[in-house]
Amino acid sequence: LGGGLSIITGAIAGVPAVALSGPNAMLSRKSFDPQVSAEQLNSKTFNIIPERDVVPMIDDPAQNYQSIRCEADFADFIGCHDSTRSLCEILYTCGNDNRPIPCECHTLYNYPQPVQTAASNRTFAEACGLAEA
């Protein structure tokens, strides 16, 4: 719901808006009051769309969007509509610039454990409470 509101509000207010897994609005834009133009959607909105996410499939995307992978099980109907899973995909695909990776990326979604850097004094397992006592 938040991504769809971001897209519509950004287009109407004329301010840049980013959505994660938001329902697109290119076909439904004329049903809003006030109506939203294709130009407003194309110039002010950006949607991050995980593959197989059913929510963004509700409507056609505007010009600016980025598709990302989703490694959820194919039997998991809404597994690709998960903001934490999408964040993990973005971090592992684009890089994290030495910022911490959420523990859930490894523990829930099976991404590999990040490599410990020289700047860190704890291992990933220690930081996530996975280390044996």
18-77 confidence digits (pLDDT tens): 999 999 999 999 999 999 999 999 999 999 999 999 999 999 999 999 999 999 999 998
SS (H, E, C) the chain: CHHHHHHHHHHHHCCCEEEECCCCCCCHHHHCCCCCCHHHHHHHEEEEEECCCCCHHHCCCCCCEEEECCCCCCCCCCCCCCHHHHHHHHHHHHCCCCCCCCHHHHHCCCCCCCCCCCCCCCCHHHHCCCCCC
72-117 confidence digits (pLDDT tens): 999 998 999 999 999 999 999 999 888 888 999 999 999 998 887 7
pTM of the model: 0.87
